[in-house]
Structure 1
Amino acid sequence: MTSTMSVRDDFAYCEQIIKRHSKSFYYAFSRLPEEKAQAVYAIYAFCRTADDSVDENQESETQLSALDKLTSELNHFANRQEIDHPLWRALRTVFDSYDMDLEPFYDQLKGQRMDISFSTPRTLEDVETYSYYVAGSVGRMLLPIIASTSTRDCTDAAISLGVAMQLTNILRDVGEDYRDKGRIYLPSQELQKAGYRVEQLASAQITVSFIEIWEILAQRAEVLYDEFLEFIGDFDKDSQFAVLASAQVYRGILTSVRQNDYDCFARKNFVTKREMIRILADSIV
């Protein structure tokens, strides 16, 4: 029988991961009731582990091996034969407490595999498909916790929020993704249509054409944020602040890039602490 102390230790392990890697998410979700906050920490820890399988290994063969290992562990978990590790013990508690679905966990791993065998997406639809697997899946994972009493299906809203956040990541990290990974997540169809060349991106040229492409993705993200907001009243009352705050802080990154004249090459765009406090205050519903 698992003791209360060891369960607390398992969730404390997961909490340290989100606290270390995402202060804004931690701040928002730590406002949830303790049991829900712990569940979110465990899900975040799983997603972080999946991310690290790719980010902490250089060679694709090593990355795939790490993902194969994590997939095997998830398979064991699915059969209630999870390994003895704080992450999996915490997730078992979550699955025993909420009406969880394993599919988005597998989708998250599929997204990581898509990242390993990366090729520049051709269309905006391709970008959104990728964004679903790496981020929309997270919205689906969290749904049974933050919309547990909803009489309305919030699945599409949760996916819209996840995809919007991933599009925001892509738009914030254009320069870093190319410089550090040699990757272009902006759709090639839009690059060609606007006449913006890879050589221009490589030399960090912020032209009218670049801004046009950037805004196509940004405006799509804004539409998805708005689609999510239409459902905010259907999320659990005790979860609305955390979800809304996270969405609005992330959306604020788009404003930050615009205010910095679309420089997502040399500047690190983020929401300032002062602006974050204002957003969080406005998110009290």
Structure 2
Amino acid sequence: MIMLKQTSRTFYIPISRLKSGLKDAVASAYLCMRAIDEIEDHETLADEVKAELLLGIHDAFSSDDVINESLKLLSPYAETLPEVTMRIHEWALLCPPTVTNVVYNHTATMAKQMADWVHEGWDIRTEEDLDNYTYSVAGMVGEMLSDIWFWHDGTKSDRIKAVAFGRGLQAVNILRNRTEDLERGVDFFPEGWGQKEMIKYTRRNLKLADSYISDLKGGPALEFCKIPLTLAHATINLIAVGGNKLTRDAVMKLVGSIN
């Protein structure tokens, strides 16, 4: 939970409210994916090294020995990679045994697709390219969460809307991190798009995400999803009027207002 709090103000709150078992599964999933995200976004690693490490994570999480394979892969980079990445074997161990196939398979698949995007230099020219990228790094997370909800208590959810849930949250991040991404030479906006078009894209996906959670009809899945989605809507509204990031007080006030 300490690592969660350090790496995500948005997801720490809903994960911390889950009950034991489900909390371990979602925390494991989030931290594994945050670990590989830190490789993709690393500011100093060469792209060739990023791709090699991400493919290595794919192979490790597809193997029968995730823990040792991950340790062997990452140990030479202890001085370079952040703590959340270096401890990916711990996050893997945290996962309840009956749902490791869901978390490990999605982590492996995401790492492979991230490696492909690194190879391509994050070349996003069309809306289809953007859809493909946001699926690779976030839409897939929505699918994984749907699998975890079903594992936990049999909750069924619309997987297409689950993808939009993840995609909408990622699109908010793309807008919020626009300046930093351009400074590191990466442009996630399709050709000819400005902020107006990206906001429209984001709102369209968040609308589907609203429908996704309204279908959940209560329970821990709904309680979890309401928080990041509420914060995403508030952030996109702030960006649309020239702001960028919600203050801590604003976040806590929004969370407190959620029924």
Distance verdict in 2 for CA 1:26–1:71, change over 3 Å: same
CA distance in 2, matches of 1:153, 1:232: 7
Asked if residue 107 in structure 1 is aligned to residue 93 in structure 2, the reply is no
1:80-229 correspondence runs (5 A): 81-84=65-68, 87-88=88-89, 91=92, 94=95, 96-98=97-99, 100-101=101-102, 102-116=104-118, 117-147=120-150, 148-150=152-154, 152-179=156-183, 181-188=184-191, 190-191=192-193, 210-229=194-213
Unaligned segments of structure 1, at least 5 residues? 1-14, 192-209, 264-268
Q: CA RMSD, aligned part only?
A: 2.5
CA distance in 1, matches of 2:11, 2:171: 17
The corresponding residue for 2:241 is 259
CA distance in 2, matches of 1:110, 1:187: 23
Please point out which of 237, 242, 254 is paired with 1:279: 254
1:12-91 correspondence runs (5 A): 15-56=1-42, 57-76=44-63, 79=64, 81-84=65-68, 87-88=88-89, 91=92
CA distance in 1, matches of 2:203, 2:41: 29
Moved more, 52-61 or 84-93: 84-93
The corresponding residue for 1:246 is 228
CA contact (8 A) 1:120 1:187 kept: no
How many residues matched?
238
How many Å apart are 1:245 and its aligned residue? 0.6
Q: Does the residue aligned with 1:83 lie in a helix, a strand or coil?
A: helix
Unaligned segments of structure 2, at least 5 residues? 72-86
Moved more, 121-130 or 82-91: 82-91
Moved more, 98-107 or 160-169: 98-107
Distance verdict in 2 for CA 1:68–1:125, change over 3 Å: closer
Distance verdict in 2 for CA 1:169–1:96, change over 3 Å: same
How many Å apart are 1:175 and its aligned residue? 1.8
Q: Does the residue aligned with 1:232 lie in a helix, a strand or coil?
A: coil
Which residue identity does 1:212 align to in structure 2? K
Q: Does the residue aligned with 1:33 lie in a helix, a strand or coil?
A: coil
CA contact (8 A) 1:100 1:144 kept: no
- Given the two structures, how large is their TM-score scaled by the length of structure 2? 0.80
The corresponding residue for 2:83 is none
Residue deviations 1:122-176, cap 9 Å, x none?
2222211110110111122222333433453432232111011111111112222
Q: Which of the pair has more CA radius of gyration? A: 1
Which residue identity does 1:60 align to in structure 2? D
CA contact (8 A) 2:5 2:12 kept: yes
CA contact (8 A) 2:62 2:105 kept: no
CA distance in 1, matches of 2:3, 2:51: 22
CA distance in 1, matches of 2:90, 2:239: 40
- Given the two structures, how large is their TM-score scaled by the length of structure 1? 0.73
Residue deviations 1:186-221, cap 9 Å, x none?
111x43xxxxxxxxxxxxxxxxxx343233323323
